[in-house]
Structure 1
Amino acid sequence: MLRALYLVIVICCVLPTVFGLVGVSLSSLGYIPPLGMHHPSLDGFAMVFDWQGVWRSISMTVYSAVASTYLACLITFAVLQASWGTAFWRKVEVSLSPLLAVPHVAFAIGFAFLFAPTGMGTRLLHEWFAYDSAAQGVADLALVINDPHALGMILMLAFKEVPFLLLMSISILQQVNVSQIEKVSASLGYSRAQAWWKCVLPQWLTKLRFPMLAVMAYGLSVVDVALIIGPTNPPTFAVLVWQWFNDPDLTLLPRASAGAVVLFVISLILIGLARFIEWSITKGLRSWQYAGRRGFALPGKTVFLGLLVMSVSMMPLMLLWSVAQRWRFPDLLPSRYSLRFWEFEWASIVGTIEQSMLIALISATTALVMALLAHEYRLRYRLQVPGYIIAIPMLIPQLSILFGMQVVTLYVSGDAHFLWVCWAHVFFAFPYVYLSLDGPWRSYNEGFTRVALSLGKSPLRVWLNVKLPILLPAIVFAWAIGISVSLAQYLPTLVLGAGRISTLTTEAVALSSGFDRRVTAIYAIWQALLPLLFFSFAIFVSHLQVKYRRLSIKGLLPNEYLSRKPRHS
């Protein structure tokens, strides 16, 4: 039974990558039989590179992805170096869940509200400084949102990915045994900062490979964030390819597919570049690790506090915009308040919230069940799909495989848009859920299971009564991650839903481009609030489980109570 279920997981969550890449590759060569194109050619690629400004678009996309990724890595290392093992680190851990819960689109909208030419940052400059100085500040801030060099998008992506990299670093540093490294380094006369640069950094960077590549792939292929705060003329290459896919002239479809293939090739090149940089730092050019005692402490605590203040200030600012009836520039606060925008939008937003929640619950629950089955299969059988293949949807641009997946769905059933959207969300959420459970599953002591089986209990009962209670916090947290990933999906919802499925993300992106800020703020608030509720639920379950285990250890709650099954009449 487990083998059959694992085969279903492979078909639903691994094979679509192959179908997607094959479909978009054939289309890029001009082979689209339904459109009467039966003769392969390279005209699609010729049209891509003949597009005016395409090389600037590609170069801007590449350097923005690389710069945002390594800036996020540097900030993450600075925070870890300054706070790991200290009392401040506990505050960092508590802050990670609410920071992770905010989707990229909601964060981008809040970032735009802060740093737009008429945003709160500019208003504060007008309040604090003279008008002439503030005018110069306005000119500087105006370059952050939709600036032609993508500087604002680089900063926003770097700040947003820091909590994710910090979360991934927790298990990594626990494996590295930082405290032992610091003790040995101190005995040799090295300071804490020098020990982190020379001993911790090479090991941390090597083990952070997959999360860092996932961050780089997202920065390379992001469309929704680039539409909100990215450059516009020319746009990033991912946005340009997305515009080509939306062209009503179907004879130009090979151009869009060729652009998706070019985006995929660029992602492969960047993966190779990242591996080369990692090899150069950790193995190739190692003289800096033992050449003297040079090493300096980074202001990680200050940077994290600044990031936290900026993130926390976004929600009150969006709430303020949602009730602002009249807010003239450069006033710090609205002169009139009203709830009429909530009243006007409530009828339509309720349906969107319900549909978003339904898709997220179905997708996250399905991805969680598949991840649990995949991990149990990995423990029982040797023949399995490698982890790096499961992580492929995280490492390649979505545009490179979504068109091929759409073609497959049209051959099966073109009208089941809701089903295909849920499938696409499961496909992209499964790697995150699977990898988030990988550490807890590997750290679980299988001796508990063997002892329970030796007492005559069935494998299913042992799993439910022994393993599940121990791993329940990790399972609930992985479920919350799956919901957050599903709620943040933009391109899969549009492509597989054919524009007929509306979610909070699709509506927020559509409204952010020139619509009323008040309505945009309402959608951004709900998009940030829903994942936060589920992460809060995961934290509550974790605390509840710890409380019950402490009561059990103290003898106030018998162990049998925790594992006893309810009697059925």
Structure 2
Amino acid sequence: MTRVFPPLTLAVFLVPVLAGLAGTLLPAFGVLPGVGGTPSLEPWRDLGAAAGLGRSVALSLGIGVGAAVLSLALALGIAAGAQGTRVMTACRRALAPLLAVPHVAVALGLAFLLAPSGWLARLASPWATGWTLPPDLPTVPDPFGLAAVLALTLKETPYLLLMLLAALGAVQADRSVAVARALGYGPVAAWVRVVLPRVYPLIRLPVYAVLAYSLSVVDVALVLAPGTPGPLAVEVVRWLGDPDPALRMQGAAGAVLQTGLVAGVLLVWRLGEAGVARLSRSWVTAGPPTPTATPTLGRRAGPGMVLAVAGPLVALVALALVGMALWSVATAWFWPAPWPAGLTLDTWRRHLAASPGPLWTTVTVGVAATGLAVALALGSLEHEPARGRPSGRGSLWLLYTPLLLPQVGFLFGVQILAVFAGLDGTWGAVVWAHLLFVLPYVFLALADPHRRLDPRWRRTARSLGAGPGRTFVRVVVPLLLRPILFAAAIGFAVSVAQYLPTLFLGAGRHPTLTTEAVALAAGGDRRLIGVRVFLQAALPLLVFGLALALPRVLFRSRSAMAAGEGTV
């Protein structure tokens, strides 16, 4: 029975992705399905003549590479400094709320925080700055996209840290660092020498996914990046949404260019990995240092470094969300007052009563996509014991395909496929589009706990006469309930954050909190934006809270299972 799940799961990815790439490639060369045309290079000539194309590409490169490098450096620094300390436990606990907050919620919160009339300027004015009017400073958006880099770094660092923490157990990091410390290395130097070379290959795919996403992000760029012109992905979305077929073909050519840009950067990054590994080999394999050769900082760096790095990240996210929460209940908030003049729930009552649709769509699509993802992931993982081996690296690469490709590179083609199938603009098409991006995260969150489950539990149940289905329901699910719920919470948070899949496949008929928040960002009503941002952040946080609380309630008489200990 379970043998149908692996091919079904891969088909969910390969069919839309391959069809999407083909559906984007054809218009890029003058053939728009449903409209016609003859093969030509006219879309590429139009693309080359587009105003500001070079600056758009440069912005994409600067934002994407800058955010990926900073996120990876911060995640590695936190993991290295916290290894083997109580700070590591605190970092694990802080990851869930940071992962739950959608990208665009952080971006909109930072927009208010860092704007010339934002909260930071209000808190310091006029007593510290002397400003009686908002300063004329290009902070949000800034000409170089630095605010977008900051927002992406705040969101991608927790994700990479989560992947790192999951991989550290596979390389026995605590034992390795202890041996290196005994030879005289400082805590950070020991981690870099004996852990990093073995753990980085295990997180290579997540790093590539972060790099690809940062290079082609749209929702964050719409809020924080410059718009005349914007990054390449933003311009491509504008062209693809134009009713003029010529501009759509130009947008398809831009989507192919975006895909090539991501592929080229990933190739350069991979070559850079090989170069760094070769250059650092002699340093990594050098003998232990003499007592006077190890820098004092290298010996003492650790929890203090982690707090210095992680503290500002958490504080910025918290301030951004608190600021938008205050706006959602503010009566009036004039410059330079640091606090609203009064508080009211009128905006909440008026807004939710007038347009409950986005909230309902967000919840139903998220629940449906997450439920399907959990079912497909568990079915595929349950087939592994039957065939006697886990899925190979090739399957993992296929699973990551939607995350390694820019969304604008294939979602336009998926939309064309949905049009021909009569699914464009339907609720089911939106669920399917979200599933493409939810399933990889759910599978990765479930794979390690499922594979570490003691096989003797299954053998015992089968020896007592239970069939495969009953064994799964009565034994496997209870033992894995905590990882299943946590994976579902991650999947729901990923679904809430989806912007382009909803925009392309929903055809404007199924707006979500994310699409509405981005649309409102162009306006000036911070109260409405505050309501959307607060709901965006609150829904995933609520689901994460339920994922943590349910095992404690259901297994309150079984302390090990309630705490997620024991076999999993």
Report the equivalent of 1:243: 238
Calculate the aligned-residue CA RMSD, in Å.
2.3
Cα distance in 2, alignment partners of residues 173 and 151 from structure 1: 31
Say if 2:18 is the partner of 1:11: no
1:128 to partner: Cα distance: 4.9
Cα distance in 2, alignment partners of residues 447 and 312 from structure 1: 45
Length-normalised TM-score, structure 2:
0.91
Report the equivalent of 1:195: 190
Say if 2:275 is the partner of 1:280: yes
Say if 2:71 is the partner of 1:72: yes
Report the equivalent of 2:39: 40
Secondary structure, counterpart of 1:540 in structure 2:
helix
Report the equivalent of 1:559: none
Cα distance in 1, alignment partners of residues 473 and 445 from structure 2: 20
Report the equivalent of 2:496: 487
Q: What amino acid sits opposite 1:25 in the alignment? A: L
Relative to structure 2, which stretch is displaced further, 65-74 or 313-322? Answer: 313-322
The answer to whether the 8 Å contact 1:147/1:231 transfers is yes
Q: 1:346 to 1:550 in 2, by over 3 A?
A: closer
The answer to whether the 8 Å contact 1:13/1:430 transfers is no
The answer to whether the 8 Å contact 1:217/1:394 transfers is yes
Report the equivalent of 1:214: 209
Q: What amino acid sits opposite 2:384 in the alignment? A: R
Report the equivalent of 1:498: 507
List per-residue Cα deviations over 1:395-447 (Å, max 9, x = no partner): 11111111111111111114561111111111221111111111112222223
The answer to whether the 8 Å contact 1:14/1:390 transfers is no
**Given the alignment, which residue of 173, 179, 184 partners 1:184?**
179
Secondary structure, counterpart of 2:125 in structure 1:
helix
Secondary structure, counterpart of 1:330 in structure 2:
coil
The answer to whether the 8 Å contact 1:65/1:219 transfers is yes
- Percent of paired sites with the same residue: 35
Say if 2:314 is the partner of 1:308: yes
Cα distance in 1, alignment partners of residues 98 and 19 from structure 2: 35
Report the equivalent of 1:56: 55
Cα distance in 2, alignment partners of residues 372 and 552 from structure 1: 19
Secondary structure, counterpart of 1:279 in structure 2:
helix
How many residue pairs align between the two structures?
549
Q: How does 1:514-529 map to 2 (within 5 A)?
A: 514-529=523-538
The answer to whether the 8 Å contact 2:28/2:249 transfers is yes
The answer to whether the 8 Å contact 2:111/2:118 transfers is yes
1:478 to partner: Cα distance: 0.9
Cα distance in 1, alignment partners of residues 294 and 414 from structure 2: 52
List per-residue Cα deviations over 1:238-286 (Å, max 9, x = no partner): 0010111112212322111111111111111121122222222234542
The answer to whether the 8 Å contact 1:83/1:301 transfers is no
The answer to whether the 8 Å contact 2:33/2:416 transfers is no
List per-residue Cα deviations over 1:529-565 (Å, max 9, x = no partner): 0010101111113444674433799xxxxxxxxxxxx
1:12 to partner: Cα distance: 2.2
Cα distance in 2, alignment partners of residues 23 and 121 from structure 1: 46
List per-residue Cα deviations over 1:147-172 (Å, max 9, x = no partner): 11011111111111111111111121
Relative to structure 2, which stretch is displaced further, 438-447 or 387-396? Answer: 438-447
1:120 to partner: Cα distance: 0.8
Say if 2:544 is the partner of 1:549: no
Secondary structure, counterpart of 1:96 in structure 2:
helix
Cα distance in 2, alignment partners of residues 158 and 379 from structure 1: 38
Unaligned runs of 5+ in 2: 563-568
List per-residue Cα deviations over 1:103-144 (Å, max 9, x = no partner): 011111111111111111111221551416x98x956xx433
Cα distance in 2, alignment partners of residues 301 and 199 from structure 1: 23
1:94 to partner: Cα distance: 1.4
The answer to whether the 8 Å contact 1:205/1:278 transfers is no
1:487 to partner: Cα distance: 1.0
Q: 1:349 to 1:300 in 2, by over 3 A?
A: farther
Cα distance in 1, alignment partners of residues 139 and 76 from structure 2: 25
Report the equivalent of 2:566: none
Cα distance in 2, alignment partners of residues 472 and 419 from structure 1: 27
1:526 to partner: Cα distance: 0.5
Say if 2:133 is the partner of 1:107: no
List per-residue Cα deviations over 1:323-368 (Å, max 9, x = no partner): 2222111111122443332232121342221121111111110111
Cα distance in 1, alignment partners of residues 80 and 558 from structure 2: 33
Length-normalised TM-score, structure 1:
0.91
1:52 to partner: Cα distance: 1.9
Cα distance in 2, alignment partners of residues 180 and 217 from structure 1: 34
1:89 to partner: Cα distance: 1.9
Unaligned runs of 5+ in 1: 554-569
Say if 2:261 is the partner of 1:266: yes
The answer to whether the 8 Å contact 1:28/1:257 transfers is yes
Cα distance in 2, alignment partners of residues 373 and 497 from structure 1: 28
Cα distance in 2, alignment partners of residues 4 and 552 from structure 1: 31
Q: What amino acid sits opposite 2:122 in the alignment? A: R
Cα distance in 2, alignment partners of residues 269 and 415 from structure 1: 32
The answer to whether the 8 Å contact 2:555/2:561 transfers is no
**Given the alignment, which residue of 143, 150, 159 partners 1:164?**
159
